[in-house]
Structure 1
Amino acid sequence: MSSESAEIALILAGTERVAAVPSSSQAPHSNTTDLATQVDQTLPPGTDPDPELILSMEPDLVLNTARHGGEETAGQQLEQAGVPVVNIDPSAFSTPETVADTVTLVGETLGEEEKAAEVTTVFLAEISQLDQTREETDQRFLALMARGDSVMAMDDSLMLPGLITRAHGMNAGDAIGLTQTRPIDAELIATVNPDIIFLEDFQGQGEEPFAEILDNPALADVPAVANDRI
């Protein structure tokens, strides 16, 4: 029911055992597009999955990331209908280690323990190697995401800023008490004055959702904008 769990299932179990994937999994930006496009059935976009549609696909198991209320409700309704559901907490995708734990969980659920162990061993070894090469830095960053018409600054609990702080970058959002992901405007970005701005490329939209705010004249002297470090 979510692109994250679909990607894990495809990597571990292959296409023949996957009854359906979210339509977003088949988009060019997906990590497993080639595999996902081999799955005939897709779930429409949105955060309110239709339990009846899912039941019509006759799944033996549903993998569900309960990130939104609609996904949580759908998972409960499927369980009530007698379909086994593995509900994955969104925090399971917040760090490399929790991602590895989630791959292990899905592997155990699908009977693909050996494949899961192979994948996570390589992944965690690569992360460890990166950890060993990081250097001290005084660079202050801001990580932005866009949903609809809203641009938001990300707190360190999410994967992107979490990885940057892990690389010793400092979240400039601390200057405005950024303890949770929240909308931000040009004035606040100018206030935190980041050296680097990271943009989340959500579903292949690139920089377009951020163009208006980053083109604001109030940001002209912000180091990240002035030095083109976006």
Structure 2
Amino acid sequence: MKKWLPVLLAAGVLAACSDSTEETTEAPADDQEQEESAEEPAESDSSFPVTVTDANGDEITIEEQPDAIVSMLPSNTEIAYALGLDEEIVGVSDFDNYPEEAMDVEKIGGMEFNVEKIIALQPDVVLAHASNPGGADGLQQIEDAGIPVVVIENAMTFDEVYDTIDMIGQVTGTTEEAEQIVADMQAGFDEIAEKASAISEEDRKSVLVDVAGPPEMYVAANNTFIQEMLDLINAENVMADQEGFVPLTEEEVVSRNPEVALLTYGDFVEDAVAQWMGYEGFSQVTAVTNEDVYLVPSDPVTRSGPRLVEGTQALAEAVYPDVFAE
């Protein structure tokens, strides 16, 4: 697991790994029906054919608005469902768990995707991801079968998430819906920032966001959307001098001495807060002595999609409950 950790963090699938199903090589049944979603389907777009430049720098042309889509990462899937494409999604990864309807869609594999199954689903487009561990060979096989593959960038900032939503909107003919999602996200972030402006410099707290847990911790540093979340809520990231998701030793936790520790892995580690607070060497860490160690939901905080606003609100309520708790 540890060798995959940076990839899983980037893809926003870490929490899902604990209960993902095993990959199989069976092709899906031809008569399998998809559960109907309560969301309105995306309206037809007349702008096709459309050509986009994906994260690999390749120009991909989609001739017609897709009726069948395979999404290889949960972040892509969440965006697609938010765009109203629930009826078009025919395949998702083993890690997909949101929205609930996605859990009933045909699975195409986990850390290594099943090329044969993807091809058998006959999608009009495959939404891949720059962090897909299955590799270029598998994607090339899909392309060789005549299926367009659009590699979505590994979004690490809010702006990159907006670009990702826009890209998927272009590819699927839902550009207006994509624009609305971005506008709603920006409005949500603005509302949080307005509340955070009431926090004085002397009340500003230092925070550590732990996404893996001791003894081999991975924490959120600079140039991530978690850093942007902390900036937005007027909190200091004690890891701001590093970049990305980085490993951290227990000695470094003590030396950086966060006032608040936020743990994103509570969904798959029992008694995560108690374990963290009871870890040898942490007794003098301010977050422990003040009992300011909290669980925050993993997917909205670590997954690059529309729920980042929800994740930011969760961080805000944990760090500054008097300001943000509803």
Q: TM over 0.5, yes or no?
A: yes
Deviates more, 1:66-75 or 1:180-189: 66-75
- For 1:182 and 1:95, the matched residues in 2 are separated by 16
Deviates more, 1:128-137 or 1:190-199: 128-137
Query: Which residue in the other structure is 2:151 paired with?
Result: 87
Give the 3-state SS of the residue equivalent to 1:216 in structure 2.
coil
Q: Does 1:111 align with 2:176?
A: no
CA gap 1:11/1:38 in 2 versus in 1, 3 angstroms: farther
Give the 3-state SS of the residue equivalent to 1:10 in structure 2.
helix
Give the 3-state SS of the residue equivalent to 1:19 in structure 2.
strand
Query: Which residue in the other structure is 1:133 paired with?
Result: 195
Where does structure 2 lack aligned partners over 5 or more consecutive residues?
1-71, 294-326
Greater helix fraction, Structure 1 or Structure 2? 1
Residues 37-52 of structure 1: pairs in structure 2 closer than 5 A:
37-39=103-105, 41-46=106-111, 48-52=112-116
Query: Which residue in the other structure is 1:228 paired with?
Result: 291
Query: Which residue in the other structure is 1:70 paired with?
Result: 134
- For 1:42 and 1:212, the matched residues in 2 are separated by 34
Query: Which residue in the other structure is 1:13 paired with?
Result: 84
Give the 3-state SS of the residue equivalent to 1:58 in structure 2.
coil
**Relative contact order higher in (CA < 8 Å, ≥ 6 apart):** 2
Q: Residue type of the partner of 1:50?
A: N
Give the 3-state SS of the residue equivalent to 1:37 in structure 2.
helix
Q: TM-score, with normalisation over the residues of structure 1?
A: 0.82
- For 1:83 and 1:148, the matched residues in 2 are separated by 43
Q: Percent identity?
A: 22
Root mean square deviation of aligned Cα: 2.6
Query: Which residue in the other structure is 1:151 paired with?
Result: 217
CA deviations on 1:184-230 (whole Å, 9 max, x unpaired) are 2222111111111122237x325656765542231112111111112
CA deviations on 1:56-85 (whole Å, 9 max, x unpaired) are 211110001121442444333322332111
Tell me, yes or no, if the aligned pair for 1:61 and 1:85 is still in contact at 8 Å: yes
Q: Residue type of the partner of 1:2?
A: L
Tell me, yes or no, if the aligned pair for 1:64 and 1:71 is still in contact at 8 Å: no
Tell me, yes or no, if the aligned pair for 1:95 and 1:163 is still in contact at 8 Å: no
CA gap 1:149/1:69 in 2 versus in 1, 3 angstroms: farther
Query: Which residue in the other structure is 2:125 paired with?
Result: 61
Query: Which residue in the other structure is 1:124 paired with?
Result: 186
- For 2:135 and 2:119, the matched residues in 1 are separated by 15
Query: Which residue in the other structure is 1:165 paired with?
Result: 231
